[in-house]
Copies of this chain bind each other. A is one copy, B any other.
Amino acid sequence: MMKKNVFFLLCLILVGFQSSYAQEVPKEPENIISPEVNADRTVTFRFFAPKADTVQVTSDFLPPVKVMSRFGLVDGPGTINLTKDKNGLWSYISKPLDSELYSYSFVVDGIKTTDPNSPYALRNSASMTNIFIVDKGRADLYKTNDVLHGTVTHNWYPSAGLKMNRRLTIYTPAGYEQSSEKYPVLYLLHGAGGDEESWAAHGRAIQILDNLIAQGKAKPMIVVMPNGNVVQDAGYGYGKDGFYKPQFLLPQSMNGVYEANFMDIVSYVEKTFRVKNNKENRAIAGLSMGGFHTMHISRYYPNTFDYVGLFSAAIMPREDATGKVYSNLDETLKVQKNNGLKLYWIAIGKDDFLYQANIDFKKKLDGIGLKYEYLETGEGHIWKNWRIYLAEFAPRLFR
């Protein structure tokens, strides 16, 4: 009797162990697809985590929440819970989404993580955030479509002033290698936290140019995307400093040194590529810090660029902006105006923390009589707006 009971108890323990074991580690399903953009423009997110208590997706397609940032209170990505099935696979289906390039992360029991089923991700400061595209609308411009493609090159130019060889990203339009034609050049500058990879990565500049040119909406042009951080020879991971932790704003990026040495870049490009090297065939544009650089470079070399684009430009006065480059602002803007230029283009989102600074700058230009075109969009200081601005700006160039 005793033995029978012990055996029975053992059986119970074993059954209990087995079922709890089976419950604890279901097998990971084969070939989980995440994210899946469905035909009805909803998107399904999937994450296998049988032991997790909560799995969430945080993304800019969800209703935004106010978050404290270095720019004050801004709209941040919303967060929503996934639902777990009996096999430990969590999922969530979004509402139908507008055509856009979205970013997202999973949050598993409070820890933010990338999607293990998608390698498509972009760097945000030190960490990676996954991306997906909902097409059949605006974001068709951001896709690699079946059109003729330009060439993307990563060159190193010698900067005599910065005493470094420095890395550039350069786009040459489809047909460049097969022709002997000369092309106009757009210099396209990134913002704080970015580098020479940013416009191609977050900005989808390669796809936007390929598509606009293929559609006949933009002239074939060379696009030069330099690195605006003067302490770097190259973006994070590409330079002599190896793999180090990215930070938001590198030192000396807005103290005049970059602007004062910008002609090293123009000179290298004009020696190395087949370009039309005159004012009518040079454009310069930049976002945020790159808009600040653009404004200053274009008036510091006031007879160099016929097209100027300020995208959410960080043109507020800065305490460290004391160097020679930043002096005589009004006078040099007047010189720039008097030299003549074909387009001075300003764009900003209504919710941008730099909105008022741009309104103030427009008033300054009004006072000087420097004519500009102005685009005001919704939302704030985000890549969604900068992709839109590039797609609006590029077709206006070299006409």
Binding site for B on A (CB under 8 A): 31, 33, 49, 51-52, 108-114, 116-121, 123, 126-128, 131-133, 135, 143-146, 148-149, 151-156, 165, 167, 174, 177, 233-234, 236-240, 242-243, 245-246, 272
- Secondary structure of the A side of the interface? loop
Q: In the complex, what residues of B have CB within 8 A of residue A174's CB? A: 156
Q: Is the CB of A119 within 8 A of B177?
A: no
Q: In the complex, what residues of B have CB within 8 A of residue A146's CB? A: 233, 240
C-alpha gap A60/B56 in the complex (Å): 31
C-alpha gap A108/B148 in the complex (Å): 45
Query: How many subunits of this chain does the assembly comprise?
Result: 2
Q: In the complex, what residues of B have CB within 8 A of residue A143's CB? A: 240, 242
Q: Is the CB of A52 within 8 A of B111?
A: yes
Q: Is the CB of B155 within 8 A of A154?
A: no
C-alpha gap A344/B246 in the complex (Å): 44
Minimum CB–CB distance for A92 against chain B, Å: 17
Question: Could you say which of B120, B144, B154 contacts A234, with CB atoms under 8 Å apart?
Answer: B144
Q: Given the known A-B contacts A116-B112, A146-B240, A272-B177, are A154 and B156 also in contact in the complex, defined by CB atoms under 8 Å?
A: no
Minimum CB–CB distance for A186 against chain B, Å: 19
New A-B contacts (4) at CB < 8 Å, excluding given A109-B109, A114-B114, A117-B127: A116-B126, A118-B126, A135-B242, A151-B154
Residue of B whose beta carbon sits closest to that of A47: B111
Residue of B whose beta carbon sits closest to that of A126: B117
Residue of B whose beta carbon sits closest to that of A157: B177
Can you list the 4 inter-chain pairs with the closest CB atoms, starting with the nearest? A119-B123, A113-B113, A153-B153, A120-B243
Q: Given the known A-B contacts A109-B52, A109-B109, A272-B177, are A237 and B119 also in contact in the complex, defined by CB atoms under 8 Å?
A: yes
Q: Is the CB of B108 within 8 A of A119?
A: no
Q: Is the CB of B108 within 8 A of A116?
A: no
Between A and B, 12 residue pairs with Cβ closer than 8 Å are A51-B110, A52-B109, A108-B113, A116-B126, A118-B245, A119-B236, A119-B237, A133-B242, A146-B233, A148-B165, A151-B154, A151-B155
C-alpha gap A49/B109 in the complex (Å): 9
Q: Given the known A-B contacts A153-B153, A154-B152, are A243 and B118 also in contact in the complex, defined by CB atoms under 8 Å?
A: yes
Q: Is the CB of B113 within 8 A of A114?
A: yes
Minimum CB–CB distance for A107 against chain B, Å: 11
Q: Is the CB of A131 within 8 A of B243?
A: yes
Q: Is the CB of B126 within 8 A of A128?
A: no
Minimum CB–CB distance for A265 against chain B, Å: 14
Q: Is the CB of A133 within 8 A of B245?
A: no
